[in-house]
């Protein structure tokens, strides 16, 4: 065996080991969620379930208690759906228009404005909790799903603008200039020329925004009310609810349910995410 082959074997061994370590928590969650209480008490974390048992999943979805509310994760899941879908679509569309303006319709001070927007990417969200709560209260949107949608749109605007602006700078300006000479205006150029070329960055932004919004806990716990809590807050409340016997299988099933949408998004659309990240990276 040559030195190159030995190096390749060692490289693959390291990669496999890293993958196993990364996937170990997911395996423990899935295996524990399929065990009954007796096997959990008598076995260990890494043991396989004696039989496939989805009772804990049913309990986590519909009857597990979060405090005094024993409706499971179902209401929190649908709250997250009603929050995430409009927030993702609006923030993505908002960022696309901002990136289009800042890259192709520059005006005096546009670079300074982009710098201020870019500052939002690096600003910790904790510093906006108090002023944002005051704004939501003033607008009458406190403790509501609509308020959470607005918060996530504002929080995601900086990132989505950055994505689209950097992508659109790689589009040849000659296309836009030719369309202007043919009489096309602002919106016609956007819909007929720019949007059809935006599929890679659209997929990146949609996946990025959906992951951030669905998995968010800070805004959910700070701005939600009793009937608008997202699934991350519901999962936290369920795991911290005290009872005579701790149901680890139900907690693990609930954690997997909470993470399933983002896992499915990456499984089904992960290839588009990688393609979108590299699109426009090389000019010419």
Looking at residues 253-276, what average pLDDT do you find? 83
Does 278 have pLDDT greater than 70? no
Reported as a single tens digit per residue, the pLDDT across 198-221 is 888 998 899 999 999 999 999 999
pLDDT, residue 284, reads 43
Band of the pLDDT at 246, cuts 50, 70, 90?
confident
Reported as a single tens digit per residue, the pLDDT across 64-114 is 887 777 888 999 999 999 999 999 999 999 999 999 999 888 888 888 888
Does 231 have pLDDT greater than 60? yes
> Would you list the domain boundaries of the chain?
3-53, 74-233+263-278
Of the ranges 20-24, 41-45, 117-121, 207-211, which one carries the lowest mean pLDDT score? 41-45
Which CATH architecture does the domain made up of 74-233+263-278 adopt? Orthogonal Bundle (1.10)
Looking at residues 232-255, what average pLDDT do you find? 83
The residue with tokens 């701790």 is 246
């Amino acid at each position: 065996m040559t030195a190159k082959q030995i190096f390749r074997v060692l490289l693959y061994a390291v990669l496999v080991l890293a993958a196993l370590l990364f996937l170990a928590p997911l395996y423990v969650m899935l295996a524990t969620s399929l065990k009954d209480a007796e096997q959990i008490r008598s076995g260990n974390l890494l043991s396989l379930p004696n039989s496939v048992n989805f009772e804990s999943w049913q309990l986590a979805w519909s009857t597990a208690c979060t405090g005094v509310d024993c409706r499971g994760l179902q209401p929190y899941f649908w709250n997250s759906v009603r929050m995430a879908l409009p927030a993702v679509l609006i923030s993505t569309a908002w960022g696309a228009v901002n990136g289009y303006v800042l890259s192709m319709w520059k005006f005096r001070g546009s670079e300074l404005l982009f710098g201020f927007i870019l500052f939002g990417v690096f600003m910790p969200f904790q510093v906006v909790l108090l002023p944002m709560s005051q704004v939501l209260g003033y607008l009458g949107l406190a403790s509501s799903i609509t308020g959470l949608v607005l918060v996530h749109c504002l929080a995601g605007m900086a990132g989505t603008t950055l994505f689209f602006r950097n992508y659109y700078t790689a589009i040849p300006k000659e296309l836009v200039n030719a369309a202007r000479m043919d009489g096309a205006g602002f919106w016609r150029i956007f819909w007929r020329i720019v949007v059809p070329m935006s599929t890679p960055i659209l997929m990146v932004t949609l996946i990025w925004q959906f992951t951030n919004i669905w998995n968010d806990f800070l805004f959910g716990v700070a701005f939600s009310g009793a009937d608008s809590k997202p699934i991350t807050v519901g999962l936290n409340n369920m795991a911290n609810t005290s009872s005579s016997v701790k149901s680890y299988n139900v907690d693990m099933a609930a954690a997997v349910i909470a993470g399933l949408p983002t896992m499915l998004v990456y499984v089904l659309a992960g290839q588009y995410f990688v393609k979108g990240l590299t699109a426009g990276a090389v000019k010419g």
